[in-house]
Each structure stands twice: as structure tokens, then as C-alpha cells.
Amino acid sequence: MMEISQDLPNMHKMGEAILEAEALTRFVTEACPISYVLYDKDLNPIDCNEAMMRILACFDKKHLLDNYWKQFVPEKQPDGSLSLEKALEKLSEASRGRDDSFEWVYKSSQGELIPMETTLTIVTHKGKEHVISFKNDLRSSKQMLESINEQSELLKDALHKANEASRAKSEFLSNMSHEMRTPMNAIIGMTAIGKNATDMERKNYSLNKIEDASTHLLAVINDILDMSKIEANKFELLQAEFNFEKMIQRVVDVVNFRVGEKEQKLTVYLDSSIPKTLIGDEQRITQVITNLLGNAVKFTPEKGTISLDTWFLLEENGLCTLQISVKDSGIGISLEQQARLFQSFHQAESSTARKYGGTGLGLAISKSIVQLMGGNIWIESQLDMGSSFIFTFQMKRGTESFTSLSIPGLNLENVRILAIDDDPDVLDYFREVMQGLGISCDIATDGEEALRLIEKYGSYDLYFIDWRMPGLSGNTLAAMLMEKASIPSNAIITMISSFDWNNVEEEAKKAGVDKFLSKPLFPSAIADILGDCLGIEKEVKEEESLIDGLFTGHNIILAEDVEINREIVQTLLEPTLISIDCAENGIEAVRLFSEAPEKYNMILMDLQMPEMDGLEATRKIREQDHPNAKSIPIVALTANVFKEDIEKCLDAGMNDHMGKPLDFEEVLEKLRTYLHVSNTT
């Protein structure tokens, strides 16, 4: 007894250790993130841990174990085998010491199918065999794999796009190099030719080529600057009232020469519902139309057709929505090529730049302009079937309205007009314009038909004759009309043609032609001709263009560090007799003004100059005590035309700015404004 009692404390400690070990084991198994189920040798579940309960969304262990095979294991596995048969097969393998893993689908209490990797292992406890089934939830693994695959695809796509962007920019830089070097070569080459030329004709030829190349180079540079503004979100629109029809007419004048060279047919339709004037950025809408028309001329073969049509869609909340389309019979564009058209640095094909030239920025810039104007731009095209570029935009209605063509004592209904042209579209448009002016008009498709109408109905007051027609040409018909005794001597003949008047003027006047009207026809141009022919005086006089002595008695400071820039300004303004003192930097500009503040009426100030820039020079002048220091107009000359650059000029005390390269007309306008001088002075 004594011995037994002496061992009791040790036995008690041993029992506590066993209990602690069992508790620790239970804690570890319950906390284990890997789920398991314990079966007896007949595969009846007798235990599981919390991880398994969480996966199956069943937190009543007894319910889970009692209904394990009926509720939580589908009768059929994805491979078609019975669940129990599969389990027995794996158990048999495990009993032979072949532990194995396989995928097994379970079903949660909420009906979700859960794929799990299952490993069966036989263990013996107190002489009894048990089966432990460890479960690994494959959903997280699959999700991770899917995520990795998705990320991989995204990375591939990003890499592809980066490579595409890199390739596009490389092609763009190559094209840009060509676009800039070509006119530069022309400028340098023609300068050398002009310098060595001994006759004036050769020199003028060289100067004209230099002017053309310079204009092209400036257009390339402007495209790059515009694209820079767009990508920096600094592209802005100006608001001013302008005449819509005259804007369209100026655009057509720009491309008409090239149209004539390629003997293309260009027609223009102006919806009469469009207001006479609109309020918006005339320069930018001109830029879009010029770009589209220029492309149409470029990609349309000789003797092809191009049409520019304008439509008034609606007016809502004070904004007019207009639609403009440019349609051509050119090479067309495939759907694949269309997807790249409005992207920066892209053209339909890389070969396009080599064959036709261009920066590849025009359409991307046009898209940005149109979107800023509340519109959209798109293309309708098929290969070898031409293209239609269509865009909409919004602008406010201007204040100027259409004025009727009328004169006291003159009844326009009695004016008889005959239009002769072999193009039915031209005749239809001509008659539509005449009807809008309240004038009746007869039409003929050739000279023979015109003579028959004259024979039948008698002579007309005004004749509009196409220069080039099949059969009798315009000149021949005009000469025949002048020879007819039935035609009164005061009848007026106007020649209409898409060719330059200088090329046809001599022969036309010999044939008896009085006036010339350029195609495509515009209502205001037709009305002006009618007004001249009928003796109607224009209410608005054209501004005189003479500038001789315009700024006599005025003195200005020109602060510019580049000698050739100073020379250009001085030479261009020489006829105005304005007095110019030059400064090569800001310090000299401040010194000139400080020494004679009452002498000067205005300062043209370059921004980027050595020693002292234009901003600092302006501040120094404004800080002086003399009254003229606060009031003298200072206008910046700068190539930096971003909004913040302009704001910096104004904050420094400048009154205005002009962008480089200088537009001579703009220089004159600024001088008139700040010197308070008009042409009539």
C-alpha cells in the first residue's frame, strides 16, 4: 500500500500530461487550415475539424457526420463513378500502403459544388483501423490560377499595345523626319538656285518654291504643336462671330488649285437653313474641313469627284447642330484600316505616308476639335469605292441675318437669266439659289440647247456659261451670242469655271465675256455677280488694303534677339513709315524705354531672350515711375501659345500676345488696335 500511495502523485502528473497532450492535439487539429474527415473502416464518418465544417457551410458537426454521404457528397462525381465505389477503391489502395490523391467534388449545405483534392490514409489506433481523408479546397487554387492567367493575358495585351504604340511612334517619327526634311531640302536648294540665278524669272520661280515649301513645313509644325496641346489637355477653342458661307468659300479656295490640276469635280451644297453667321472658333472648324477636303483631293484620282455638303440638323438650348460631309470617289478604306484612322501617329497604312505624304495627325486633331465642339466624326467607306467623312458640331447662332437682294424700282421677276452647263448638279443648284433670291431662271445642258431656247423665247438679260462643255465650248457660245442681232448690247455674259480665271481670261474677253464666276458656286458669289450686273451697290465696302504711311509719326521698340526676325519685321513694316528701335535683349529694351519713356507708343517684346527675358523686362518697365510705364501697350512675341504661357504674359503686365511665326496681317491689326490707327486715318 505504501508503494502504491507513493506512486499516486506521479500517476496523477502523468494523467495531467496526457490530458494536456490530448487537448493540445485537439486544438491543433481544430485550428489546422487543412480540412479532414475521420472514418471508421466501413467509411462511416466519425469526426471532422472546423475547417471542413467551414468549407461545407455546416456548423453542426453531428448533422454533418450523420448526413455526410447523403447530403454533402453528390451521388455522381464528374467522372461518372459512384461516390462510395470511388471511396472504397481508394480505401483499398490505401490499405495496401498506396496513399493516393484524387479530385473529389463535394456539395455545401447551400448547394455549391466544391472541388477538393482528397488524400486517404489508413491509421491504426488501439488495434482498430481508421481512415483519415485530408481535403484541399481547389477553388482558391483555381481562382489563383485563373487570376494568374488573366494577369498574364493582361500583360500580354499591354505588351502588345506598348509594342504597337512604339512601332506607330517609330513610323511617325520616320514620316515626320521625311515631312520636315523634304521642304527643308527644297528651301535650302531653291535658296541656292535663287542666289545664283541671273534673271528675275528664275529668281521668282525659286522664291515661289521656297514659299510653298515654307508653308508646308509650317503646316507640319502646327500639326505637331496641336497634337502636343491635345495630349497635354491644353487645347482650347476661341469664340467669335463669323460668316459661315464665306468660311466654306475660303476653304474651297485653298484646295481649288489642286482640284483643277487633277481635273477633279468639286461640288458644294449649303443648306439654306444654316444661319448666315455663327459664333465659335472659325479657325478650328476651317482646319477640320481643310484637312478632310485636302485628304479627299489627295486620295482621289484624276477626274474623280468630291462633294462638300453642309446640313442644319437642329437648334436646341441656344445651340445649332450642323453636319458636314466630305465624300470622294477615291481609293476607299477597309474596316481594319478605319479602326486606326483617328488615332494619334497613325495612318491607314504605313505605305500611305510614303506614297501620299502627311504627318498622320490631321484626323486625330480633327477628332479632338470636333469633340470639343460637342460633335462627333466618323467614316463610311469601302475599298475602291470612295469614302465619306462626316462630322457634326455645335455653335451658337450669330446676330447677322440674310439680306434680300433688292433695289427700289427694280422688279427682279422681270429679269431673265439663262444658265448653261453640262453638269446637271450645277444647274439644279444654280436654279435653287436663284429661286431663293426670287429670280426665275432657265437652264440648258449645252450650247445647242441654249441657242434653241433663245430662238424660242427671245434674248435673256444675263447669261451664265460654263467654260468647258462638249460640243460648243463656253467661249464659242459667247462669241456666237455676241454676233446675234437679236441679243441686245447690254446683255451680260458671265463665265463659270473651276479653272483659274487668269488661264482663261484673255480668250474669254475676246469672245465677249464680261465677268467670271469660280466653281464651285456659292450663293453669295452669285448674288454679288447679280448685284454688279443689275447695278446694285454693296452696302458694305471692302476695307482698303493700302498701308503706305499708315503709322507715320509712331515709334515702337522691337525687343528680339534673333537678327533675321528683326530684319523681317522692319522690312515688312517699312511701307507704313513707323519708326522702330531694336533691342537684342530685355536689358536693352528696359534701357531704351527708361531713356525716353515719352518717345515710344508701343513695345513688341520677345519672351525668350538672353540676359533678361521678356517677362522680366516687362515687369521692370511697369515698375518705373513714369506715367507712360503703366500705360504703354506691350505685346508679346512668342512661339509658346499655351493658355498658361499667355496668362504668364498678362500677369507680367503685357497687354496682348502674337504667336510665332508672325502673321503680317495680325501684326498690322495689333498695331492698328494699340496705336489707335485705322486705314482711313
**Mean pLDDT of the 424-446 span:** 85
Q: 387, exposed or middle or buried, with CB in 10 Å at 0-12, 13-18, 19+?
A: buried
pLDDT recorded at residue 588: 96
Q: Tell me which residue of 462, 489, 493, 457 sits closest to 478, measured CA to CA.
A: 493
Helix/strand/coil percentages in the chain, nearest 5: 50, 20, 30
Question: Do residues 454 and 477 touch, judged by C-beta distance below 8 A?
Answer: no
Read off the CATH number of the domain in which 283 is found.
3.30.565.10
pLDDT, tens only, 332-342: 888 878 877 87
- Counting runs of H as helices and runs of E as strands, what totals does the chain give? 22, 22
Examine the pLDDT at 321 and tell me if it is beyond 90: yes
Q: What gap in Å lies between CA 259 and CA 673, rounded to an integer?
A: 38
pLDDT, tens only, 581-631: 999 999 999 999 999 999 999 999 998 898 999 999 999 999 999 999 999
Any domain includes 81: yes
Any domain includes 87: yes
**Mean pLDDT of the 238-251 span:** 88
pLDDT recorded at residue 383: 86
Last residue within a domain, chosen from 178, 207, 231: 231
pLDDT recorded at residue 22: 53
Q: What gap in Å lies between CA 411 and CA 344, rounded to an integer?
A: 57
> Looking at the structure, do residues 496 and 602 belong to the same domain, yes or no?
no
Residue 113: which pLDDT band, with cuts at 50, 70 and 90?
confident
**Mean pLDDT of the 418-428 span:** 89
Q: What gap in Å lies between CA 420 and CA 434, rounded to an integer?
A: 14
pLDDT, tens only, 352-379: 444 444 556 788 889 989 999 999 999 9
pLDDT, tens only, 627-636: 999 999 999 9
Q: Tell me which residue of 284, 273, 291 sits closest to 240, measured CA to CA.
A: 284
Examine the pLDDT at 10 and tell me if it is beyond 90: no
Read off the C-alpha cell for 475. Answer: 467661249
> Looking at the structure, do residues 340 and 350 belong to the same domain, yes or no?
yes
**Mean pLDDT of the 325-330 span:** 93
Any domain includes 547: no
Examine the pLDDT at 487 and tell me if it is beyond 60: yes
pLDDT recorded at residue 2: 40
Read off the CATH number of the domain in which 620 is found.
3.40.50.2300
Q: Tell me which residue of 415, 401, 421 sits closest to 517, measured CA to CA.
A: 421
Question: Do residues 526 and 417 touch, judged by C-beta distance below 8 A?
Answer: no
Q: Which helix (H) or strand (E) holds 557?
A: strand 555-559
Examine the pLDDT at 51 and tell me if it is beyond 50: yes
Any domain includes 127: yes
**Mean pLDDT of the 379-391 span:** 90
Read off the CATH number of the domain in which 220 is found.
1.10.287.130
Q: How far is CA 525 from CA 413, 517, 520, 540, in A?
A: 20, 7, 10, 15
> Looking at the structure, do residues 135 and 210 belong to the same domain, yes or no?
no
Examine the pLDDT at 480 and tell me if it is beyond 80: yes
Q: 470, exposed or middle or buried, with CB in 10 Å at 0-12, 13-18, 19+?
A: exposed
**Mean pLDDT of the 229-239 span:** 77
Of the chain, the percentage scoring pLDDT greater than 70 comes to 80
Max Cα distance, the chain (Å):
164
pLDDT recorded at residue 190: 83
Last residue within a domain, chosen from 397, 425, 442: 397
pLDDT, tens only, 19-34: 554 554 555 555 566 7
Read off the C-alpha cell for 146. Answer: 485563373
> Looking at the structure, do residues 282 and 372 belong to the same domain, yes or no?
yes
pLDDT recorded at residue 122: 79
> Looking at the structure, do residues 212 and 105 belong to the same domain, yes or no?
no
- CB within 8 Å of 392: residues ≥ 6 apart: 313, 321, 322, 323, 324, 370, 375, 376, 377
Q: Tell me which residue of 107, 324, 359 sits closest to 216, measured CA to CA.
A: 359
Last residue within a domain, chosen from 534, 565, 588: 534
Highest mean pLDDT: which range of 99-108, 291-300, 635-644: 291-300
pLDDT recorded at residue 206: 83
Q: Tell me which residue of 621, 647, 650 sits closest to 635, measured CA to CA.
A: 650
Any domain includes 545: no
> Looking at the structure, do residues 216 and 86 belong to the same domain, yes or no?
no
Q: Which residue(s) pair with 328 in the sheet?
A: 306, 387
pLDDT recorded at residue 503: 73
Pairing of strands 128-137, 113-125: antiparallel
Q: Which helix (H) or strand (E) holds 377?
A: strand 377-381
> Looking at the structure, do residues 430 and 500 belong to the same domain, yes or no?
yes
> Looking at the structure, do residues 283 and 216 belong to the same domain, yes or no?
no
The residue count of the chain comes to 681
pLDDT, tens only, 647-656: 889 999 999 9
**Mean pLDDT of the 533-556 span:** 68
> Looking at the structure, do residues 278 and 312 belong to the same domain, yes or no?
yes
> Looking at the structure, do residues 246 and 390 belong to the same domain, yes or no?
yes
123 vs 586 pLDDT, higher one: 586
**Mean pLDDT of the 241-247 span:** 91
Instruction: Provide the Cα torsion 455, 457, 462, 467; round to 10°.
Output: -40
**In whole numbers, what is the pLDDT of the chain averaged over residues?**
81
> Looking at the structure, do residues 351 and 285 belong to the same domain, yes or no?
yes
Examine the pLDDT at 196 and tell me if it is beyond 50: yes
Any domain includes 680: no
Any domain includes 542: no
Question: Do residues 266 and 498 touch, judged by C-beta distance below 8 A?
Answer: yes
Q: What gap in Å lies between CA 537 and CA 354, rounded to an integer?
A: 52
Domain count, the chain: 6
Any domain includes 657: yes
Residue 350: which pLDDT band, with cuts at 50, 70 and 90?
very low
Read off the CATH number of the domain in which 53 is found.
3.30.450.20
Question: Do residues 186 and 213 touch, judged by C-beta distance below 8 A?
Answer: yes
> Looking at the structure, do residues 418 and 525 belong to the same domain, yes or no?
yes
pLDDT recorded at residue 21: 47
Examine the pLDDT at 345 and tell me if it is beyond 70: no
pLDDT recorded at residue 573: 92
0.95 exceeded by the pTM?
A: no
Residue 193 lies in domain: 154-231
402 vs 325 pLDDT, higher one: 325
Concatenating the DSSP letter of every residue in 638-660 gives ES--SHHHHHHHHHHT--EEEES
What residue has cell string 515688312? 572
Cis peptide before 661 (omega within 30 of 0): yes
